[in-house]
Amino acid sequence: MDNKIFTSNHILSSIPVHDAVMKLKGFGYDGIEVWAEGFFSQSENGLTSLAKVRSALAKTGLDCVVHAPLKDISGKKYNISSKDAVLRKRSIDGTIAGVNLAKSLGASLMNMHPGHADDEKFNVADYYQMNLDSLRKICGSAEKAGIIVSMETMEERPKEFVKTPQEIIDIIHELGHPNLGMTLDISHAYTHGKSDVERYLREIKKDMHHLYHCHVSGHSKSATHVPFAYCEIKDFWAKEIRKFLEFYHGRISIEGAKKDSNSSMILMSEDEIVKDNLKYIKSVMH
């Protein structure tokens, strides 16, 4: 199999992004997914810089993609489909900052989350058009920058209304932007139900042309994204990932973060997690 294995520097959040690049190269990864909000925060505090990250990428030859920020450096969350016009504009601007970061780092792709509702009880029609309008602006900026925008399938949780591959495929065709594609998050698929993982794969096969990126991680009862060492569905996961890799030959980016809400359960160090995650994925691929 010719898949390239990336991981999010979110897992190595305790060190500067440029150090994470060097470390991942030493561990045997093919690339890094730079979380924009983490980079912006570190840059603001003088812990890293564009020059240092670019230098590390050049030295290692590691490939790079960017994950758009989900919040600003003060911690305020973004939502590109919010009814609050000020928040919506700030969210669009923040996502475009992620596009510009991708261009500055020499990345070809920026992964992003779709918009969501402001409240748990909502009518999709009230938010759908605002999501499309925001995506038009983001994709327009990305097209000028030569960056692919890859929108992520979301998990089953309150406020989300763009969750399945088919829903993203429909948006891609409706907007008609040549640089808009899809990121499959297999762990998100599992939150819809075990059988829905199979449905996701069937939907994706119908429009493989627009599948640009993939997220994987372990899954447990306490959290959607955990290290594979803490995954409670390992056998099922190995089987489903292998099915996916039969027809997907692109990037596989491992997600997760030790500092998430389940951190008290995770006894491994960040380095141990990153190394063990790579070992597990390689065992699945071969």
- State the Cα–Cα distance between residues 232 and 106, nearest whole angstrom: 37
pTM exceeds 0.85 for this model: yes
Count of domains for the chain: 1
- List the pLDDT tens digit at each of the 286 positions of the chain: 589 999 999 999 999 999 999 999 999 999 999 999 999 999 999 999 999 999 999 999 999 999 999 999 889 999 999 999 999 999 999 999 999 999 999 999 999 999 999 999 889 999 999 999 999 999 999 999 999 999 999 988 999 999 998 999 999 999 999 999 999 988 888 888 888 888 888 888 877 889 999 999 988 887 888 999 988 888 888 888 888 888 889 999 999 876 545 555 788 999 999 999 999 999 998 7
CATH of the domain at 25: 3.20.20.150
C-alpha distances out from residue 74 to 11, 67, 70, 111, Å: 20, 18, 11, 21
Residues in contact with 86: Cβ distance below 8 Å, sequence separation at least 6, in sequence order? none
| Angle between the N-to-C axes of helices 194-205 and 165-175, in degrees from 0 to 180, rounded to the nearest 10 | 30
Residues in contact with 144: Cβ distance below 8 Å, sequence separation at least 6, in sequence order? none
C-alpha distances out from residue 170 to 32, 115, 157, 175, 245, Å: 29, 15, 21, 9, 23
- The answer to whether 203 and 214 are in contact (CB under 8 A) is no
N- to C-terminal Cα distance for the chain? 8
CA 95 vs. chain centroid, Å, equals: 13
Identify the domain containing residue 228 by its residue range: 4-285
- The answer to whether 214 and 250 are in contact (CB under 8 A) is yes
